[in-house]
């Protein structure tokens, strides 16, 4: 609801519809269901490029030449290792805390140990982004293993980011998704789709923190906090809990209609910007279908279709990226609480691309509020006790 007072003519709750700055990183066009990273449609990037290409593109503005790609990958792979002290830090955190808490703490720890954390230049922010892109998969994969009672697997310098993550989480024994090219590809594509999405809540959080001229690790730590919420990144976990609650495709329609009738939100549907469908869904849905074909997952696909149909018929609300991503990660064998940390691994690229952009042309982000509390009064006028 809009309200007025003497300091503001209009309140836009949730900054809905407010344009707060320019960005050259990505463009969302809800009318045409399109999302471009540095001008390239995300659907084309998913088809033709690896997540490494996309990370390079988001940071540098252009896709890499073969030489640039080789150097980029060499540097990223050289940064994947984490010190024993960080492994110990992860081990010291409770097994039942949310893995996003581990991510947040790890980023803060890595920042505290980086003597160049305060370098706010474009190159400095990219270096930090690459450091986090290299190290976060190692942290997240180990966190899942330790909760399963398994030991640390050191990163491999011979694998892509996607394959290496699956390798560090599951090893390379028979049945590991790291050994299946289709699984690696589906996971890689999900990282591309999660990498960037203009001024979403976590990116905006990162930009707000950067705008105070704070350091990049602080901005990323704050962004992780914003991403954790179920209205944002946490939705991919909530989606899978819903699939498990539904349990059987035959119950899917009734489950959705019941929730809709009770006006309950169903995670994985709806979007602040897209009102006619999320442009990332077709690519992720295709990856989900391929994954299901390889993992005896027909049940999840049927459930997906029935829930989607029922939701559209009853409310007209369409799925967002989290809806196909949740079951895909589940079929790959990833434990549900790790779905959002995987989102972090991808989005750290977008966050740092935006932080570099914010730093390059900074204005402190400090909006106004419309006061609706007590009128001014004096402590001397209080009634006697
Ligand atoms: N399930 C059921 N109803 C939904 C819905 C959902 N997932 N998303 C939106 N709606 C309904 C709201 O209840 C509201 O109905 P009303 O006008 O009758 O009150 C209307 O659609 C507008 O929703 P609102 O939450 O105000 O829009 P928004 O632009 O602020 O919401 C989201 C965007 C993403 C927060 C919202 O769609 C949502 O909560 N989705 C579920 C969480 C999720 O999947 N997040 C990941 C986003 S990528």
Percent of the chain surpassing pLDDT 90: 94
Dihedral, CA of residue 36, residue 37, residue 41 and residue 43, to nearest 10: -120
Distance separating alpha carbons of residues 217 and 135, to the nearest angstrom: 13
- What CATH number is associated with residue 299? 1.10.580.10
Contact 339/324 with Cβ under 8 angstroms?
A: no
Tens of pLDDT along the chain (385 residues)? Answer: 444 454 557 899 999 999 999 999 999 988 888 899 999 999 999 999 999 999 999 999 999 999 999 999 999 999 999 999 999 999 999 999 999 999 999 999 999 999 999 999 999 999 999 999 999 999 999 999 999 999 999 999 999 999 999 999 999 999 999 999 999 999 999 999 999 999 999 999 999 999 999 999 999 999 999 999 999 999 999 999 999 999 999 999 999 999 999 999 999 999 988 878 899 999 999 999 999 999 999 999 999 999 999 999 999 999 999 999 999 999 999 999 999 999 999 999 999 999 999 999 999 999 999 999 999 999 999 998 7
Ligand 1 neighbour 270 (Cβ under 6 A):
yes
Helical packing angle, 84-92 and 122-147, nearest 10° = 50
Give residue 182 CA to ligand 1 midpoint distance, Å: 33
Residue 286 lies in a domain: yes
Residue 316 lies in a domain: yes
Point out the ligand 1 atom lying closest to the alpha carbon of residue 14. Answer: 30
Contact 250/259 with Cβ under 8 angstroms?
A: no
Contact 154/81 with Cβ under 8 angstroms?
A: yes
Instruction: Say how many domains are in the chain.
Output: 1
What are all long-range contacts of 298-302, with beta carbons under 8 Å and residues at least 24 apart? 299/248, 299/249, 300/243, 300/327, 300/330, 300/331, 301/327, 302/249, 302/252
* Cβ within 8 Å of residue 246, ≥6 positions away: 252, 255, 303, 307
Ligand 1 neighbour 314 (Cβ under 6 A):
no
Ligand 1 neighbour 320 (Cβ under 6 A):
yes
154: containing domain: 22-364
* Cβ within 8 Å of residue 303, ≥6 positions away: 243, 246, 248, 249, 252, 327
Residue nearest to atom 9 of ligand 1 (CA): 270
From residue 324, how far is each of 182, 193, 286 by CA, in Å?
Answer: 16, 11, 9
Residue nearest to atom 3 of ligand 1 (CA): 265
Ligand 1 neighbour 317 (Cβ under 6 A):
yes
Point out the ligand 1 atom lying closest to the alpha carbon of residue 264. Answer: 2
Residue 376 lies in a domain: no
pTM of the model: 0.95
The pLDDT value recorded for residue 30 is 83
Contact 226/343 with Cβ under 8 angstroms?
A: no
Ligand 1 neighbour 231 (Cβ under 6 A):
yes
Residue 247 lies in a domain: yes
Residue 188 lies in a domain: yes
Residue 6 lies in a domain: no
From residue 233, how far is each of 54, 203, 382 by CA, in Å?
Answer: 20, 12, 47
| Residue 271 annotated in active site | yes
For residue 369, give both structure tokens.
Answer: 């509020």
* Cβ within 8 Å of residue 259, ≥6 positions away: 266
Among 53, 215, 278, 322, the active-site one is 322
Average pLDDT, the chain: 96
To test the ligand 1 pocket, which listed residue (193, 228, 229, 265) has its Cβ within 8 A of the most ligand atoms? 265
Place of tokens 């976990």: 237
Residue nearest to atom 1 of ligand 1 (CA): 265
* Cβ within 8 Å of residue 234, ≥6 positions away: 100, 227, 228, 340
The pLDDT value recorded for residue 1 is 40
The pLDDT value recorded for residue 3 is 43
Ligand 1 neighbour 266 (Cβ under 6 A):
yes
Distance separating alpha carbons of residues 363 and 258, to the nearest angstrom: 47
Residue 382 lies in a domain: no
From residue 355, how far is each of 86, 316, 327 by CA, in Å?
Answer: 25, 36, 31
Among 197, 271, 295, 354, the active-site one is 271
Residue 328 lies in a domain: yes
């Amino acid at each position: 609801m809009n309200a007025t007072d003497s300091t503001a003519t209009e309140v836009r709750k949730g900054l809905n519809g407010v344009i707060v700055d320019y960005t050259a990183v990505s463009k969302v066009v809800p009318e045409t269901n399109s999302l471009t990273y540095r001008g390239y449609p995300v659907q084309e990037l998913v088809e033709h490029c690896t997540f490494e290409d996309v990370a390079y593109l988001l940071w540098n503005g252009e896709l890499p030449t073969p030489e640039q790609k080789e150097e980029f990958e060499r540097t990223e792979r050289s940064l994947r290792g984490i010190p024993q002290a960080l492994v110990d830090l992860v081990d010291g955190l409770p097994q039942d805390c949310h893995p996003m808490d581990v991510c947040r703490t790890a980023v803060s720890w890595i920042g505290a140990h980086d003597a160049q954390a305060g370098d706010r230049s474009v190159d400095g922010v990219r270096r930090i982004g690459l450091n986090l892109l290299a190290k976060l998969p190692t942290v997240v994969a180990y966190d899942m293993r330790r909760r399963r009672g398994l030991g640390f697997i050191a990163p491999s310098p011979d694998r892509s980011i996607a394959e290496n993550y699956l390798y560090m989480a599951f090893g390379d024994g028979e049945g590991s998704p790291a050994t299946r090219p289709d699984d690696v590809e589906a996971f890689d594509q999900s990282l591309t789709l999660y990498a960037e999405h203009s001024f979403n809540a976590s990116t905006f959080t990162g930009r707000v923190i950067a705008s105070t001229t704070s350091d990049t690790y602080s901005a990323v730590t704050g962004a992780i906090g914003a991403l954790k919420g179920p209205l944002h990144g946490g939705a991919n976990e909530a989606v899978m809990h819903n699939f498990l609650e539904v349990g059987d495709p035959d119950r899917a329609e009734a489950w959705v209609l019941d929730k809709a009738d009770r006006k309950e939100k169903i995670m994985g549907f709806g979007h602040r910007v897209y009102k006619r469908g999320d442009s990332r869904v077709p690519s992720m849905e295709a990856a989900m279908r391929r994954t299901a074909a390889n993992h005896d997952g027909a049940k999840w696909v049927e459930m997906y279709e029935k829930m989607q149909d029922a939701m559209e018929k009853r409310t007209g609300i369409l799925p967002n990226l989290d809806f196909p991503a949740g079951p895909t990660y589940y079929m790959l064998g990833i434990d549900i609480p790790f779905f959002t940390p995987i989102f972090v691994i991808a989005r750290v690229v977008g966050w740092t691309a935006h932080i570099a952009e914010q730093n390059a042309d900074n204005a402190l982000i400090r909006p106004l509020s419309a006061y609706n509390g007590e009128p001014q009064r004096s402590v001397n006028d209080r009634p006697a006790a």
